[in-house]
Amino acid sequence: MSTILVNNVKSYTGSTVTISGSNIAVQGNTTLGDGAGTDTITVNGHITASGDISASGTIFASKFESAGTSNEVMSFNDNLNITGNITASGDISASGTITAEQLTTSDDLTVGDDLSLNSDSSVFNMGAGNDFTITHDGTTGAVISATPITINSVGELELSGSSIDVNSNGAIVIDSVGLSIDSTGVAANITSTTDGGSEDFTIALAGATDSSLILSSTGTGADALQITTTAGGIDISATGNAAGEDVDISSAASVNVTATEDAANAIYLRANGGTSETVKIHSDQGTGAASIELTSDAGSIDINSGDNITVDAADEIIVTTTSADGHIALVSAHTAGQAIHLDGNANAGSIVDIDAGILDIDVTGVATIDSVGLSIDNAGVAANITSTTDGAAEDFTIALAGATDSSLILSSTGTGADALQITTTAGGIDISATGNAAGEDIDISSAASVNVTATEDAANAIYLRANGGTSETIKIHSDQGTGAGSVELTSDAGSIDINAGDNITVDAADNIILTTTSADGELVLSSSHTAGRAIHIDGNTAANSQVVIDAGILDINVTSHISLDADLVQISGSSGIAITGSVTAPNIQSPATAITATDTGAGAGTIPAGTAVALVAADSDANHIVILPAPVVGNIIHIIENGTTGYELRTSTPGSIGINGGTGSGAESAIAGAITYIRCVCVSSTSWIATQFDADGDESKVEAAA
């Protein structure tokens, strides 16, 4: 390989100079590059310089060596890449990157950019004896060795690393105007390990100024700030007693104070500063049922006071025991006056409500309840209010006092037949009302029945009596009943006696029925009247009104005379009518009975017994039949057809009872349509004689039945 001796190596601006197969020996002060920093000079051999070298571009060479005086200056404004060693006896200054296997200078080395030691376990030595070293640990770390190490910073001193380990065989003292130790991204601790007593670890703020010692955490866990001991206790003391010099524990979440010591006073809140001291537990905004809660899971809660205990609540105060045998006892040792005072009298609507499975109130003296209103309610079981007497005149009074429009009410929603009972086992019951103004009555009302029953075997066992004056009445009234017994008076064995000092009036919108059901019973209307109408039966509301007397035997006995005044008097008897004595009857007529001829004469075609006049409708068929009643000797029947059809006339038994001597099975007499009127006379039990009249009044006999 040859050597090129040069004083100056330049290229056109922005070009590259490459020297291959030769070394460059630079003698004297030499400039490499065009000064603009755009050249690249590559020497595949060595560069040897004996003077100052100034380079403005990038220099590539396998070795760079300065063999001149110690005052030589090598200045590089860009990168210097040497694959071998760099040896200089003067200053080395580079504003770019210097890359070499070894850099040696006996004077200053100035690096304007990075300085890289590119081998593992490389060492950066300082001092004549290399007694300050920074040694690469062969991986990614380094070790600084020196005795001592002093770090002075006029401004901020920052130590950064994934881990910083400071070890000292003696004390570590950090004195500063301010001190900040910060850790980010990993767990951190400050620990003092003792090996003997009194080796306290003190974190203190000294100086009597308005300053604070602050332990704070922005952690998000439930244990974001912990103050713990594994064996000893924790003392938190504040000796200041001026206003605001308190021990304050505040939390935006919960404050939990827990002790696991199995001993009395495991948690002890105590004030012992003087007579004005108080202990206060305060929930500002809690609205729940347990805004402040005292809970003992297994034991009791004991509240003791040297004087009063006052519990004030803006809403309810609830004292509850949940065990099956638990009870609440309010006990007072007071010997006179109010021993226990329950006051629910803030307003007229205030209520004191006592709910109990069993409520037992024992009073050695008198029990007095004074109130504007009083309500005693019971649900689900039988209940009673009982006063037990042991002597006469010990009355039990339930009274409504005060002359106002108020009522004493006994009411029941029970569903039994005895839903409300007023009973005595020995004495009587008096119900009295002394008021006599309008409406001041005794009213007994029921949506079901009202039953008044007496079992006393004596006269007047039930006695309804009015004795107030001449305007008084007694009224038994059924408003809506439509049955035959809407109002009923019944005596199962004895009689019913209705007595009146004056009239007895019975009015009915429909029938009035008097009935006796015994075989020998009779209905008697008896009057002691001595003149005029003694008994008056009036059925004369209208012309068609009837008075009907049905009797097996009608026996009318009159000591004077009978007078029947009517437009028409009808008297019928199936076996005849017998009138004994003189009869004054200027006009006695029998009404007509309507008969309709039928195919067989049965039903509407049969003339009823006792009929005097029959009015026949032939029903448009001359073969239709009319049947005479059973023969009664002397009976006369007048038959009138209301048309001109004609019909057949039979006896009740054609085979044995004849018409005009004719008999036979189904024997009948034809009555022509021109015949208007027939007269039939029964002359024997087996014979009727019949004659007929036409429209002109011509009489002829009816043909014999055949």
**Residue 662, pLDDT score:** 94
Residue 135: strand, helix, or coil: strand
Give the full edge-to-edge strand order of the sheet including 98-99. 16-19, 40-43, 58-61, 80-82, 98-99
Question: According to the model, what pLDDT value does residue 522 have?
Answer: 85
In whole angstroms, what is the distance from residue 40 CA to residue 18 CA?
8
Q: How far apart are CA 330 and CA 339, in angstroms?
A: 10
DSSP state of 542: S
Alpha-carbon radius of gyration of the chain: 71
Closest CA to 648 of 665, 630, 627: 627
> Letter for the amino acid at 265?
N
Task: Indicate if the alpha-carbon torsion angle 581, 584, 586, 589 is positive or negative.
Answer: negative
678 within 8 A of 692, measured Cβ to Cβ: yes
Phi/psi-derived region of residue 419, left when phi > 0, alpha when psi is between -120 and 50, beta in every other case: alpha
Coil, strand or helix at 605: helix
**468-504 as b/e: b if 16+ CB within 10 A:** eeeeeeeeeeeeeeeeeeeeeeeeeeeeeeeeeeeee
93 contacts 66 by C-beta, under 8 angstroms: no
Contacts of 537 (CB under 8 A, 6+ apart): 547
Residue pair 610/573 in contact by the 8 Å Cβ criterion: yes
CA pair distance 663, 647, nearest whole angstrom: 18
d(C-alpha 596, C-alpha 587), whole Å: 29
First to last CA, the chain: 186
Cα angle 359, 361, 364; round to 5: 165
Strand ranges inside 256-324, DSSP E? none
Residue 55 contacts by C-beta under 8 Å, 6 or more apart in sequence? 31, 32, 33, 41, 75, 76, 77, 78, 80
pLDDT the model gives residue 669: 94
Tell me what pLDDT residue 351 has.
79
For residues 101 and 81, what is the distance between their CA atoms, to the nearest angstrom?
10
The two beta strands, 142-145 and 132-136, are: antiparallel
Residue 71 DSSP class: T
Segment 333-381, tens digit of pLDDT: 888 888 888 887 788 777 778 887 777 888 887 888 877 777 788 888 8
Ranges of each domain in the chain: 2-128, 592-701
8 Å CB contact between 636 and 613 = no
Residue that the structure tokens 């300085």 belong to: 115
Residue ranges, the chain, pLDDT below 50: 1, 11-15, 576, 582
Cα–Cα distance, 146 to 58 (Å, whole number) = 37
Quick one: pLDDT at residue 618? 87
| Confidence at residue 586, expressed as pLDDT on a 0 to 100 scale | 54
- Name the phi and psi angles at 472, rounded to 5: -70, 150
Q: Strand locations in 539-642, DSSP E? A: 592-596, 613-617, 625-627, 636-641
- Looking at the domain 592-701, which fold is it? Jelly Rolls (2.60.120)
Q: For residue 111, give the nearest of 119, 99, 124 by alpha carbon.
A: 99
- DSSP string of 321-351? --STT----------SS-SS-----SSTT--
**Burial tier of 180 (Cβ tally within 10 Å: 0-12, 13-18, 19+):** exposed
Closest by CA position to 554, among listed 536, 568, 539, 573: 573
Quote the pLDDT of residue 56.
62
